[in-house]
Structure 1
């Protein structure tokens, strides 16, 4: 599982490479019936495109492979809380083979890293539920490494469990401290209101033990949401493609079709979902242009400059979109 791609502010190095996949010949297939997988086509197309279109193309060799490996590993588990050192040892076998995989049209490193991360994520979710089911005590003198650059991958399952215990305890304590601060502020507001003889909302105080229970619930909710937000296979592939692209330079990125559409909308303020280019102006949505051959073009009712006031589908009541952005 690779972590989501960071937003970038400069797109000077963005390469938009479009290739006819039907005539794609990057790979040497084992036989006339061998059809390239989506992973083969995408990774191969990106490497080929960057090799031809990037202003400073890379040599696809072991040095390139090592850089891809290091960046992929960093994004795979940047907090170093999921993978064990034994997992890293398995993945390290591929650190000089990614370039060869690209040329062969295989993706063993991607497959293994995805599987390891998925398996460990399930295990850590179970562990988090177990650790957060019991109260923490805060009377022991313990330390936790919060600088992930200085952290190390757990040596074994016992080491990993201890790291997670400290992490969840730390996050629980942080939330308890926040609740205590908020309760103190509420007391201050009540005193000010009392001196001013103004009515004040009286909320019952919570004990530290009650706060600890609530804090563990919040931490568990947070992590359950994180565990549930797992990338689908297309997102995993897109993230890996971005690792390869970012190895060239930080501003070179791959956009999956949906990401490309979102990027275009953010860049231009336009949306072409109905076969018409739309633009928002002063709270109204206007037709900027009609895409030739689209549904709007064939219908013939929409014209450039028209304002869209309400939208509906089928027999549903049209909904006003005035004021939408």
Structure 2
């Protein structure tokens, strides 16, 4: 099995000394270290990835398409003639990869670079004169289905429409014609400067990720510089805005909001938003960062705790440009830790005290564990403390809120599940070689034996899906919300330098899928996720999201189930509970407004054609703002809160008084949680009206 890998490792010493003779046209040249890395990655992926498949001719065609997409997603640069020329590599990329030959990668990149410089020079000339405000045409943004430009005239037409759209977005952000053109001039000049300092590591990383993408969405390569950024992003002690960033089409893009960070707490930023500019303090000049390297942009965004940073954002779904203000803070374990509250539901003279524990991630202080510190912080230990406090308040039921929880430590998912029954399996992990491990709760103790519910959405992933799946499979509690993300894979980080020590401090890391999670009923959490017992639409219900939307996602599979407890706490009463839910929410104004918001947001997201007439776009923007404001105020009417005005929405966080900030907290609406709590109250009523067929064994002892 390892023979091919061993053979490759044996020749790496000589490869380190070998000289690559690239095409003379190349300004950036492939290096011996890149050839060595490529062959090593090829061997690892073929033998140790969960799919265990060797790159072949069929995949070569996909790799080429992915590489071209990563270089030119908007199809502004390459023409059909270029793509036809590149097609010579369609069935040979696998052969090049096996040999570590990178010359074709740099050939394609150089054509991309030349086309980009030609576009920039054209745009800079175009921006010398005032732009037209009145147009009858529209820009098509359906890039996935757009054909390549047929000739130079068609390509320049796309350039003209693209820069017109960029200009309109700046005009809608209150810049006049001259200011908008100056912003764009500086932006394109910055991109041109960046192109002059693109190094071979960056080119290699782009292709390496085109290659790894055909294995699955979570297998990827990090260059040495990107590896450093990855390590920093994984730290919970980072001072900044609390967001993970990547580069997409020369735009710094937010890929993830870190629990407990200023970005997620502000409620003003979403995953997928693009950062166009950064300014320091309340009055500092806005620096346009389009075209910057990610690491250079991050230097501006990061800063000391308590300092102010302003961001110019291009919204993920609407392309509108907003400016927001954040106060940098230290993102630590405390900020992202589990938190609890008690909600009271009143009905027909009876009150239900419901404890709600919100868990942003499954965290574990690994360093404290390694030190042998018995007082280490972890999800499970923190939840124990919260349960103790809630039970002192005599709660009638407990809700574990896992919405937007993207996962974390597997050990914590297992341990947390074990708080709710005495013993039994929680999850199965199957490796690429077929080795199967069943992770179990073995402490013979139940920490909380009362009525339990789990609230999930389509951003609950990985460890969250393990917990929710185990609770559902054992029928220990009620699962509410919408199907989870569907990430059922396990990754490992491989430091390539360990295998090629000749290139010290010059190599990157490979993140590779090595195993899959399977529920105790034998079903993978991959693609399908965990389906709730009672479906409640959530903020993104009508929008495509989850593992199933990813290209090359691994398939859903099943294996043998394992013997597990079945507490029969939900299944016997689920039909009656569903009937109550349907009847209660058929005309529920909270739910109806929620559905209306989702439908309107999906309508905006599905729009693929945008007018290039300034007045028409301004009118469309005004209509959108009025519609969204009306929908938000519908909630406030239902709850009896003061209505918002356009001025309220436009006011920056740093300009708000303490009273206004407190009002924002007091008048927050969580419609999903409110609907869920009503359903949990119904659940408690139903399980107390009939004799239980099963009980939760091993209740917490008085000594614990």
TM-score range, shorter chain: 0.5 to 0.7
Question: Which residue is equivalent to 1:9?
Answer: none
Per-residue CA deviations over 1:89-148 (Å, capped at 9, x if unaligned) read 111111111011123332243021111011111111110101111112233311221222
Question: Which residue is equivalent to 2:230?
Answer: 263
Question: Which residue is equivalent to 1:186?
Answer: none
Runs of 4+ in 1 over 3 A off after TM superposition: 18-22, 24-27, 33-36, 226-231, 268-271
Question: Which residue is equivalent to 1:23?
Answer: 10
Contact 1:58 1:64 in 2 (8 A): no
1:238 pairs with 2:205: yes
- Secondary structure at 2:91 match in 1: coil
Q: 1:228 and 1:133 mapped to 2: Cα distance? A: 19
Shift of 1:175: 2.1
Q: 1:270 and 1:45 mapped to 2: Cα distance? A: 33
Deviates more, 1:49-58 or 1:151-160: 151-160
Question: Which residue is equivalent to 1:216?
Answer: 181
Q: 1:96 and 1:228 mapped to 2: Cα distance? A: 35
Shift of 1:74: 0.9
1:252 pairs with 2:247: no
Shift of 1:161: 1.4
| C-alpha spacing 1:26/1:104, structure 2 compared with 1 (3 Å) | farther
Q: 2:40 aligns with which of 42, 45, 70?
A: 45
Question: Which residue is equivalent to 2:121?
Answer: 126
1:74 pairs with 2:103: no
| C-alpha spacing 1:281/1:64, structure 2 compared with 1 (3 Å) | closer
Shift of 1:269: 4.7
Using the size of structure 2 for normalisation, the TM-score is 0.30
Structure 2: stretches of 5+ with no match in the other structure: 21-31, 239-330, 334-366, 371-704
Using the size of structure 1 for normalisation, the TM-score is 0.61
How many matched pairs? 229
Shift of 1:281: 7.4
Q: 1:56 and 1:34 mapped to 2: Cα distance? A: 32
Question: Which residue is equivalent to 1:64?
Answer: 59
Shift of 1:248: 0.6
Write 1 or 2 for the structure with the bigger share of strand: 2
Matches within 5 A, 1:1-325: 23-24=10-11, 37-179=32-174, 211-230=176-195, 231-269=198-236
Q: 1:39 and 1:173 mapped to 2: Cα distance? A: 42
Q: 2:19 and 2:158 mapped to 1: Cα distance? A: 45
Q: CA RMSD in A?
A: 3.4
Structure 1: stretches of 5+ with no match in the other structure: 1-17, 181-210, 272-279, 290-325
Specify which structure has the bigger relative contact order, considering alpha-carbon pairs within 8 angstroms and separated by 6 or more residues.
Answer: 1
Contact 2:205 2:221 in 1 (8 A): yes
Question: Which residue is equivalent to 1:293?
Answer: none
Per-residue CA deviations over 1:57-94 (Å, capped at 9, x if unaligned) read 22321111112111111111001111122111111111
| C-alpha spacing 1:139/1:261, structure 2 compared with 1 (3 Å) | closer
Write 1 or 2 for the structure with the bigger share of helix: 1
Q: 2:155 and 2:213 mapped to 1: Cα distance? A: 30
Per-residue CA deviations over 1:284-313 (Å, capped at 9, x if unaligned) read xxx999xxxxxxxxxxxxxxxxxxxxxxxx
Shift of 1:19: 8.6
Contact 2:8 2:39 in 1 (8 A): no
